[in-house]
Amino acid sequence: MLFQRYGPCLEPQSSLEENYQRTRPNNSLRSLVLNTRTIADAAGSGYVELGRTKVIAAVYGPRPPLRSSKGGVENAMKGRLTCEVVKSAYCSYSCESTRSQIGKGFSEEERLLSIRLVRAFEPILLLDKYPKCSIDIFVVLLEDDGSAFTAMTLATSLALADASIELVSIVASATVAISPKQEYLVDPDKTECEQAIALITVSLPLHATQLCEIYHIGKLSAEEWLSAVQLAVEVAQTVGNSMCQFLLQEMAKNEPSNQ
Amino acid sequence: MQSSSSGDKPLYAVPGMEICEQGNFSIGSGCYSNHSKIYASLLGRVVFHQVDTSSLQVCVVPVARTTTSTLRRSAPPTVGDVVIGKVFKVTWRAVVVDIFGTEMELFRYPFRGVIRLADVTNLKTDLHHCFRTGDIVRAQVVSLGDPQAYYLSTNDSRFGVIYATSNAGYPMEPCNENEMICTKTAIKESRKVAK
How many Å lie between the alpha carbon of A49 and the closest alpha carbon of chain B? 21
Taking only the tens place, the pLDDT of each residue in B34-56 is 888 888 888 888 888 887 767 77
Instruction: Determine contact: B108 vs chain A, CB below 8 A.
Output: yes
Are the beta carbons of B41 and A126 separated by less than 8 Å? Answer: yes
Q: What is the mean pLDDT of residues B123-131?
A: 81
Are the beta carbons of A68 and B44 separated by less than 8 Å? Answer: no
CB count within 10 Å of CB B111 equals 21
Whole-Å CA distances, A40 to A111, A182, B63, B69, B87? 26, 45, 16, 8, 31
Instruction: Return the axis-axis angle of helices A148-162 and A108-121, rounded to nearest 10°.
Output: 50
Q: Give the B window 143-172 contacts with A, CB below 8 Å.
A: 144, 146-148, 150
| Residue A209 pLDDT | 79
In chain B, residues with a C-beta closer than 8 Å to the C-beta of A44 are: none
Adjacent-strand bridge partners of B165: B171
How many Å lie between the alpha carbon of B98 and the closest alpha carbon of chain A? 12
Distance of CA B189 to the CA centre of its chain: 29
Amino acid at B11: L
Q: Which residue of chain B comes nearest to A245, CA vs CA?
A: B14
Q: Which has more confidence, B27 or B54?
A: B27
Are the beta carbons of A258 and B66 separated by less than 8 Å? Answer: yes
Torsion sign (Cα): A255, A258, B3, B6: positive
Are the beta carbons of B68 and A64 separated by less than 8 Å? Answer: no
Taking only the tens place, the pLDDT of each residue in A107-145 is 888 889 999 999 999 999 988 888 888 899 999 999 988
Q: What is the mean pLDDT of chain B?
A: 82
Per-residue pLDDT band for A15 (boundaries 50, 70, 90) equals: low
Give Dmax (Cα) for chain A. 67
In chain A, residues with a C-beta closer than 8 Å to the C-beta of B65 are: 37, 254
Amino acid at A14: S
Are the beta carbons of B111 and A64 separated by less than 8 Å? Answer: yes
| Residue A173 pLDDT | 94
For β-strands B149-153 and B136-146, DSSP reports them as antiparallel
Distance, in Å, from the CA atom of B171 to the CA atom of B87, rounded to the nearest integer, reads: 15
Q: Give the closest residue to A55 by CA, choosing from A119, A144, A122, A116.
A: A144
| Residue B8 pLDDT | 58
3-state secondary structure of B142: strand
Adjacent-strand bridge partners of B189: B180
Are the beta carbons of B67 and A40 separated by less than 8 Å? Answer: yes
In chain A, residues with a C-beta closer than 8 Å to the C-beta of B85 are: none
For residues B15 and A167, is the Cβ–Cβ distance under 8 A?
Answer: yes
Q: What is the pTM of this model?
A: 0.85
| Residue A238 pLDDT | 92
Distance, in Å, from the CA atom of A126 to the CA atom of A79, rounded to the nearest integer, reads: 8
Taking only the tens place, the pLDDT of each residue in A50-76 is 988 999 999 997 888 877 666 666 667
Distance, in Å, from the CA atom of A173 to the CA atom of B80, rounded to the nearest integer, reads: 41
Q: Give the dihedral of Cα atoms A47, A160, B8, B18; nearest 10 deg.
A: -120
Are the beta carbons of B74 and A37 separated by less than 8 Å? Answer: no
Across the interface, of B16, B62, B66, the residue whose CB is closest to A167 is: B16
Percent of chain B with pLDDT over 90: 11
A101: pLDDT strictly greater than 80: no
Task: Select from A154, A251, A255, A259 the residue whose CB has the most chain B CBs within 10 Å, as the one to mutate to test that interface.
Answer: A251
Please give the domain boundaries of chain A with CATH numbers for all domains.
Answer: 26-253 (3.30.230.70)
Q: Give the closest residue to A90 by CA, choosing from A140, A32, A133, A154.
A: A140
Instruction: Return the axis-axis angle of helices A222-258 and A148-162, rounded to nearest 10°.
Output: 30
Distance, in Å, from the CA atom of B19 to the CA atom of A203, rounded to the nearest integer, reads: 24
